[in-house]
Amino acid sequence: MASRFDVRSQPGFGTVAMFTFVLLYLPIATLVAYAFNASESVTVWGGFSLRWFVEASQNAAVQDAAWRSFVIALSAATMATIAATMAAIATTRTAPYPGLSAKYAFINLPLMVPEIVTAVALLIVFSRVKVWTGYSGLGYLVVAHTAFCIPFAYLPIRARLEGMDASLERAAADLYATPWMAFRRVTLPLLRPGIIAGFMLAFVISLDDVVITEFVKSGGQDTLPTYMLGQIRRAVTPEVNAIATAFLALSILIVTAFFFINRKKS
């Protein structure tokens, strides 16, 4: 009987894996280290200092962009999670039928389409809407982020639903619970970890987005990522490193919480 193939046992696998990790994380580690640089140069180490974190926190433009990013991400993640929850229930709590796979593919399409394509399409649509309505507020960014974040919220919610025991919902129906009561008292409490995980994933995806935001936003609507992009175009300063480090820490915190919540079974 032939032995099972294990890629980890192949010659050079460890070396390639180590090289890949170094290639990915060494630039990030360098950025984090220079965020604590006392020097005004991003290439010359001048000693340890929190100076740039303090300056970034006192920068009115950074505060404005950070608050705008938070509002957009919170709004988009909330609406995306609600839509994803309804979509997950509609595609999971039903008997298989022709076209169900096509619905899965349609919901997850933004994950497969290059983000630049989505951004250009949204730019074309919203530019016409702006001309017709005269409105150019943050609503366009919220709608764009919501559409892009739905599949990210959908995946953990659907996975949670598929792992739930459907007999509990049937038992509630046998005890004369209405569909709404069964959902509120049985399905929703069991689904809560998946909903929270989907919300957190959608939130961090919206918070970090650059491409769609750059195409859809109007003047004076910079989010923190697009503000950083604009600063880098002018000159890279340690303040940008400090903002990026804070952003990285927040993203790691959210993704870690998402991981542990998604593992929760009860």
Q: Does domain 59-263 have CATH number 1.10.3720.10?
A: yes
The 10s digit of each residue's pLDDT in 175-189 is 777 777 877 777 788
- Average pLDDT estimate for 259-263: 69
**pLDDT-derived band of residue 264, with 50, 70 and 90 as boundaries?**
low
Band (192; pLDDT cuts 50, 70, 90)? confident
Contact predicate 149/206, CB 8 Å: yes
- Residue 156 pLDDT > 70: yes
Beta bridge partners of 37: 48
Q: Give the C-alpha separation, 182 to 207, whole Å.
A: 34
Structure tokens at 148: 């892009």
- Contact predicate 195/85, CB 8 Å: yes
Can you read off the two tokens belonging to residue 163? 């792992």
Averaged confidence pLDDT in the chain? 83
- For residue 75, is pLDDT > 90? yes
pLDDT at 31 over 70: yes
* Better-scored residue on pLDDT, 167 or 28: 28
Domain boundary assignment for the chain: 59-263
159/172: higher pLDDT: 159
Residue 30 has a pLDDT of 87
pTM score: 0.81
Q: Which of 33, 58, 37, 32 is nearest to 47 (CA)?
A: 37
Minimum mean pLDDT among 30-34, 99-103, 222-226: which range? 99-103
Are the C-beta atoms of 118 and 150 separated by less than 8 Å? no
The mean per-residue pLDDT over the stretch 131-142 comes to 87
Q: How confident is the model at residue 197 (pLDDT cuts 50, 70, 90)?
A: confident
Structure tokens at 225: 């990522």
| pLDDT category of residue 2 using cuts at 50, 70 and 90 | low
C-alpha–C-alpha distance, residues 189 and 187, integer Å: 6
pLDDT in tens, 111-128: 888 889 889 999 899 988
Q: Which amino acid is residue 49, in one-letter code? A: S
Confidence (pLDDT) at 143: 92
The confidence score (pLDDT) of residue 266 equals 46
